[in-house]
Structure 1
């Protein structure tokens, strides 16, 4: 069955106070899917969300919801006429209303408001707390109330603006999974804004990575990690970093770590200088390997440990080993490359035939680069 297109942003440009924040934005969301706008602070993701909600006008392009134009240059359908729900970062609950009254606020005139309110409170696991007030609830419980309130009018689309940012790490993880389950159970389409990629991947079907007001890639979490389209996406997602390489043939590249073979072909000339994407899980612990590196630092992560490594040439690397492997900074360990997905980009933005292999060390692509 083909999914039905729900939300479409076409050549969108918007901003505020005369400053253009978002430019040439194109994305779509199918009915029942959960999308995410991901990126560093100031990249335009919240401005985009506010434009979808109708809080900000658009300067160019258009926004369509279920085939209807809801925003274009010179026209903005009122937020209350869009049938779009909103969950805010600070929950925005009414302190003088009970939990049940908060949930029912948007459906006060609905003949079945009590049934709907009860079902939603049960859905968010707060059926026993309907008579309490917001100040009597924990942060996670308040967020569930805000979600239930937004779902009560049965919006065509739900927008969530950094909904878990005020919660501790463990509660964020558990609640993000719960929110996904709740939205999927109701078939509710949603757009989430966050700067936390773990949160984005846990909740979303499609993720858009923003950089300086432009959408770098709109794709599944799997493809963003394994098939990044730009160096910024490759570096921003999954702790990616780059080492310099020299293309040997369409499916292999020579690096300081040896020849790396992958599962895709590149059409650039043999000998081209390239940047090779590596992630910490591409380097595996191999005590008997001839490739020896010095440990310069480590971060214990519980089930695993992130090691910062240095090659004899000075090139810096990062690797994740199981946490039962315990070495100290200054020690030397053996590693080997296990990178099935060979992702390459032109070195310094250009491909040059017969290029030499410089020692450029680790490079990351920040939002300012």
Structure 2
């Protein structure tokens, strides 16, 4: 439900900006404000219990959501109001990628952490699918004000579920400690782990060149003469396929995670290039469906690769670096794509982004093949060690 507030909120805000006559770059700034708080990923404190940090964040977002629904429903909304609203939701994304994933590690234990994180990624995929669909249908049937009210209802439902599921938690691992200078020690991991550095470079490429197009979904729908509900279907297609594939990967994770990670990015970028000039709705949906396969391969391994190539005491730091990397790449990509769309048009800008991303990905993989192989080996060894450790603890 928390994932759903963000993805539904992103769709609603980009649709609102398009409805108010904003240019494509205004849509891109909506996405940039949502993801720019991830820049602070390496600074998130581990002194506060993760479940408390998640709970307090949701409590803070609830009145903000109610206020935004009231402003939109009352017809007093202006484009500039969307940006602080998205920034607040971006704080929620930051807490989700750091504190909530640490919470999952604590709840699952080392033996089941990979599957639990894959399940969490499946939750993200379901939200990416349902968010735009829910937003498009509610706009079509009830109007924009009611559609924004759904965000507040989702938070009100998620809060008691979070409290109930975290009443009795296992003790946090003693090995996970906050560095003396937050943020500074985390970046040293890149010097010590070439595999982690390569993983983060691929993350940058995917977020900079592929995911940056997401705020343009209403623009794509407008070009294809689609109504609000159909625009929701366009935004939901990739997430629907990602959900199905990611669910399958929970039960059969990729044997070579880094290879799946890189291939997932390649599939996404090729699909984006085809989507940019898809002449009819059916072909656009086909391109997004193929992109969903790539998103599943990318997303299902993104949560496990960074923590699999570092020591257990550095797992939280690795997740923080991942969040910070996304916080740098995704808003930058959205702004660059927005500027390019204003200069070249949205279609050509998306095609150029796909071509540049593919070139960067191929170069990175070819120059760092040893780093990719070491990532796969490290995760394989880590799974065996975690299994032995857990069996010893149970014994």
- TM-score, length-normalised on structure 1? 0.23
Q: Which has the higher helix share?
A: 2
Q: Which has the higher strand share?
A: 1
- TM-score, length-normalised on structure 2? 0.22
Q: Highest Rg: 1 or 2? A: 1
